[in-house]
A and B are shown apart, each in its own frame.
Chain A
Amino acid sequence: MNTPLSWIKAYVPDLDVTPQEYTDAMTMSGTKVEGYECLDADLDKIIIGRIEKIERHPDADKLVVCQVQINEAGETIQIVTGAPNVFEGAVIPVVLDGGKVAGGHDGSKTPGGIKIKKGKLRGVESNGMMCSIEELGSSREMYPEAPEEGIYIFNEVPEYADLRLGSDAVAALGLRDAVFEYEITSNRVDCFGVLGIAREAAATFRKEFVPPRVAEPGHIYEAKKRSNDQTSDYIQVEVRDKELCPRYVARVVKNIRLAPSPMWMQRRLAACGIRPINNLVDITNYVMEEYSQPMHAYDLSTIAGDPAEGENGCGHKIVVERAKDGEVFQTLDGQERKLDASMLLIRDGEKAVGIAGIMGGENSKITDEVETMLLEAACFDGTNIRLSGKKLGMRTDAAAKFEKGLDPNTAMEAMNRACQLIEELDAGDVVEGCVDCYPEVRRPIQVAFNLEACNRLLGTDISIEQTREYFNRLELELNEEGNLVTVPTWRQDVLRNADLAEEIARFYGYDNIPTTLPTGEATTGGLSFKLQIEGIARNVAEQYGFCEGMNYSFESPKVFDKLCIPEGDAARQAVTILNPLGEDYSIMRTMPLNGILNSLSTNYNRRNKNVRLFELANVYLPKALPLTELPEERVQFTLGFYGDGDFFDMKGVVEEFLEQAGLKNRLICDAASGKPFLHPGRQANLVYEGAVIGYLGEVHPQVLDHYSIGEKVYVAVIDMPQIVEKASFAIKYEGIAKYPAMSRDISMVMKKEITAGQIEEILRKKGGRLLESCHLFDVYEGAQIKDGYKSMAYSVTFRNKEKTLEDKEVNAVMEKILKALEEIGVELRK
């Protein structure tokens, strides 16, 4: 919402503030100013002048030498110009020596302006410059009377007939103004209009609010223009859907006299960014800006009567009802729109003539030939307009206003204002009376008020007198007892005491409310156990050189193909977003790998070496599809790297994490994990206490191709909820061994298929409680070992915690171990 300060001042005449003061105070009272632009910021020393004499330039065909009178005293200066449209007697804006203009005549703006100095043009002295509208920082769009090319000429505008030479040209053009942009919150529907903001400004600066004086219908028009006929003689209105159209006001204007609207109106519209067109269009736009009430004008001759009524009817009828499913309608921009039964239509006796609140029809629009106009000011259901606009992909200025949910009482005020302006601008003859369909009148509501409760909520001690004063400024009527407030209908946001507390706070000043800390019962803060375990995951990842990444929770369904997940796999059962930003962001991830692989790929393709990344984030597992209850959200600890390191480095990180999280039992790597996205010979399920808590492996070369990564990638995924369940911070000291240990080395040759896991299993089982540890110190495959075989060597340590071990004890155990090893085909090397 953009509004010039001059327009606000029109309704708050005593307002005398700088743009910055206005910005600060309005923002602090709740009407946030996003910014402002001073239209004259880059304009300086620009006055009204008149060309007295034009002579040819002696040395240039395209230049002329003008003598320009620059004040009433008759002083003239010489200006050389190449503008094609100058003539003797032309009244023009002149920038004097040392002055500034905003830009070039091609419409380009120069921040800070362009300084104009006297000098010589082709040898002839020139002491200033005559300005085009573009050089003054505006455009023909906003100043339609300006010439297509050349200097702005005041003579052509009747309102400029009395300009004094030497006076401020910037002011004459309405450019001594600042345009403000506001951020209006959705609860303050009234502030989408200039009047609403002006009311707030008056309250903020404690000045009088003087809204435009508009009389009741039938009393505002001069007698000579008043006709004997009544609006109801011209138009009949039937609202068939009162829910979606709480009010419909219609009036008729005859003898339309299209003309440009007066400069003051054009200037205000231009400052709001609205292009002036003609008096009728400008008036409806003007009222829309002023009251935040959109209006629509129909050519009455195109509005058919009700055929059922025939001769008895008035010949023109408006019906407001829902469209039929599949109905097609051509809007005034020439587009065919396909409608459905949720949308509200304006029809005449025979056909559709407009989509309610969004756009009128091609078939009934105002043309230059219009004689009689039907003017509509209605109130439509905001939600319905918003949804219809969305469905149709149309967000017109009117719809943007309606969708906030307007006050139906404003419709009549706006209609009266428009008719008043039509009369004032002599744009036509307004027909007496109006047709007003308003079955349920909205009346001001009464809100119980409790000042003490307000003070208690705010932490303040504001008096009833102060409160009364704040409320008066806002036209909130506080009764004498001080316990009931009557709220005007435009303040749809004030419904209860808390809302009134906010009104008090706004004008008492948020700055003036004290600053305290909560008292009351102390609470012990802290992190949940889950978050603490996630902290450990981060610590371990950090220790091992992994950087934390973050990826979106939504991804493309194609991810499953990239990860070679077979059709029908449970992982493909994902929550789908109805309105995603695109297919690439349309499903909620069920596995975390895509994110980490994408990130690794980004790094790889940017030639970053040795990249280690991790992420802690949710996957979303639906219990059933389509979703009827919330999916399960499980945090996954995902690690991935390329560069230095291999499978066993990653396995080390996993083991370290488990240990630090207090999972001190043995982690088993089960090679039968069957992940299609991992190297078939280099992957494992992570099994802890019999449960699969995650997986680990080298990414399948095929998948690496899909992600354009040219190095081996190792990943691990740990299902955090299971870790949290098993984690513990309990630490228990075990005594340091008092008795010596004994070590034996076992050197073996075996088939390649036999795993270290199998060997260790035997060592542990047969070693019994004497076995303290076993440590693999050599694995070898190659020249000295026969094909298909490998050698392994373990150092096995035994200890008895109660007494010193004896050789024979160890020998007995070793014998059991060696026997068991031989049983699975292991050859022992002596």
Chain B
Amino acid sequence: MRLHTYAHKEKKLLVSIKRKVKMMKEKLKSIMSAALSQIAESTDVEKLNAVKVTILGKKGELTELLKGMRDVAPEERPKVGQLVNETRAAIEAKLEEKLAELAAKKREEQIARETIDVTLPARRLVRGHRHPNIVALDEVERIFVGMGYEVVEGPEIEYDYYNFEALNIPANHPAKDEQDTFYVNDKIVLRTQTSSVQVRVMEKRKPPIRIVAPGRVFRSDEVDATHSPSFHQIEGLVIDKNITFADLKGTLAEFAKKIFGEETKVKFRPHHFPFTEPSAEMDVTCFKCGGKGCRFCKGSGWIEILGCGVVHPRVLEMSGIDPEEYSGFAFGVGLERIALLKYEIDDMRLLYENDVRFLRQF
């Protein structure tokens, strides 16, 4: 409507608009080139954002330019608008591009800054350590549990009956002296062997019996590099029908291989224990020299490791098991002996000093 009213002015206006359009185009061009150079010159995200605000912001140059659109003839407007939008899009694209470039650069810088010396020492949780005896015991238990043995325990302060008499060691038997027993009174002793658990188990259970019984035992030996008045044994007992000495050999050979290595050989020597008959001591091939003979095995190639035997019929009888029907074997291993040999510890006293520099090695 206004155009009609001011028709006389229209021509003049048209000329001026045309000029305006041309001016706008030029302005756009200059904005564009200024923007590009500012963007190119921006060295960080902040500067780039400033550029963005200066050009595209509410009071930015391009926005200002758009305000001048009202001076443009309506029919020219879409064209000019398109031109403005194109310029804006071009600048925005350039900004994006630059932003990505700067972000990448920034990350690179950060990464460079964050590079560490990977050979610096590690930080670890300070964990504790099991006693070497227990490390060895765990292994022994694992082996026998795998073969169907149950791990049981018995009292450390024990009746003379279970420690001696029921094991076919009657009063005043010389074997009692050999074991240097600590007495509490004439009926109660500190057990000298875990064999005492044998009888307790046989009294309570019916065959088949397969048990190992680890625990503390006591003998009145003065402390030195190879003796301690308190040490640990693991007793093993198998009672069933048709158990033989051959089974004893097979079982302990298997045990020796598992604990000392597949190539370990065993040797059984006759020996005497009052509660087994026949009795034997088992040697294993020296794991240092493999049986060739060295200082460790005193040149023999063998190391004595345990005592064993077929359960004495008298012991079965006393525990209420019929030796005509059942037979069995038993063995006793010194835990410290295994630990000392396996970990090459040269002094038994170390086991009871509890110096953490020692314990932390297990």
Contacts and interface: CB of A to CB of B under 8 A. Distances in A.
Contacts of A32: 269, 271
B229 A552 contact: yes
Interface in A177-195: 185-188
A28 B156 CA distance: 35
Contact of B134 (A460, A515, A548): A548
Interface string A518-538: 111111111110110000001
Which size bracket describes the interface of A in this complex?
35 or more
Interface in A623-669: 626-627, 630-631, 633
Interface string A141-164: 000000000000000000000000
A553 B134 CA distance: 17
Interface in B199-222: 208-210, 216, 218, 220, 222
Contacts of A403: 174
Interface in B147-167: 147-153, 155-159
Contacts of B269: 27-28, 30, 32, 510
B147 A553 contact: no
A550 B128 contact: no
B277 A404 contact: no
A457 B353 contact: no
Nearest to B162: A630
Interface stretch (B1-9, B45-53, B234-242): B234-242
Given A459-B244, A516-B246, A588-B157, A544 B149 contact: no
B272 A550 contact: no
A8 interface: no
Given A457-B327, A458-B246, A517-B247, A618 B156 contact: yes
Contacts of B152: 528
Contacts of B229: 552, 554, 581, 585
Contacts of B244: 456-459, 516
B160 to A, nearest CB: 11
Contacts of A185: 271-272
A630 B270 contact: no
Interface string A484-520: 0000000001001111011001100011011111111
A546 B130 CA distance: 9
Nearest to A386: B177
B284 interface: no
A578 interface: yes
Contacts of B318: none
Given A523-B149, A547-B128, A547-B129, A620 B157 contact: yes
B193 interface: no
Contact of B159 (A543, A553, A630): A630
Interface stretch (B34-42, B74-82, B180-188): B180-188
B153 A554 contact: no
Contacts of A513: 245-246, 249, 268
Given A526-B150, A545-B127, A551-B352, A496 B222 contact: no
B247 A581 contact: no
B245 A520 contact: no
A7 interface: no
A84 interface: no
A528 B313 contact: no
A579 B182 contact: yes
B127 A543 contact: yes
A259 interface: no
A506 B245 CA distance: 12
A498 B310 contact: yes
A100 interface: no
B120 interface: no
Interface in A457-475: 457-460
Given A516-B246, A549-B131, A581 B270 contact: no
A345 B265 CA distance: 54
Interface stretch (B21-29, B58-66, B138-146): B138-146
Interface in B219-275: 220, 222, 229-230, 238, 240-247, 249-251, 253-254, 267-272, 274
Interface residues of B, number: 84
B246 A404 contact: no
B330 interface: no
Interface stretch (A106-114, A601-609, A700-708, A799-807): A601-609
B330 to A, nearest CB: 13
A570 B306 CA distance: 41
A611 interface: yes
B14 interface: no
B355 A602 contact: yes
A529 B134 CA distance: 17
A576 interface: yes
A602 B188 CA distance: 33
B278 interface: yes
A542 B356 contact: no
Contacts of B174: 186, 382, 386, 403-405
Given A518-B240, A525-B147, A525-B150, A457 B268 contact: no
A383 interface: yes
A791 interface: no
Contacts of B250: 515-518
A286 interface: no
Nearest to A505: B278
Contact of A577 (B155, B183, B351): B183
Interface in B301-337: 310, 312-313, 327
A599 interface: yes
B312 A498 contact: yes
A508 to B, nearest CB: 11
A544 B128 contact: yes
B354 interface: yes
Contacts of A553: 156, 190, 216, 218, 230
A248 interface: no
Interface in A740-756: none
Nearest to A458: B245
A526 B230 CA distance: 26
A644 to B, nearest CB: 9
A580 interface: yes
B262 to A, nearest CB: 15
B240 A459 contact: no
A382 B172 CA distance: 9
Contact of B278 (A458, A518, A630): A458
Most buried by B among A525, A531, A552, A608: A525
A591 to B, nearest CB: 16
Nearest to B323: A498
B299 to A, nearest CB: 10
A544 B251 CA distance: 38
Interface string A788-809: 0000000000000000000000
B175 A186 contact: yes
A403 B125 CA distance: 60
B182 A580 contact: yes
Contacts of B249: 510, 513-516
A26 to B, nearest CB: 10
B356 A611 contact: yes
B184 A576 contact: yes
B355 A606 contact: yes
Contacts of A505: 245, 270, 278
Contacts of B173: 186
7 contacts: A457-B310, A458-B310, A498-B313, A515-B246, A521-B240, A547-B360, A548-B128
Given A515-B249, A523-B208, 13 more contacts: A186-B174, A186-B178, A456-B327, A457-B244, A457-B245, A498-B313, A505-B278, A515-B253, A578-B182, A599-B354, A613-B354, A618-B156, A630-B157
Interface of A: 27-30, 32, 185-188, 382-383, 386-387, 403-405, 456-460, 493, 496-499, 501-502, 505-506, 510-511, 513-528, 530-531, 538, 541-554, 575-581, 585, 588, 599, 602-603, 606, 608, 610-614, 617-618, 620, 626-627, 630-631, 633
The 7 A-B pairs of least Cβ separation, nearest first, read A459-B246, A459-B244, A549-B354, A30-B270, A185-B272, A502-B278, A599-B354
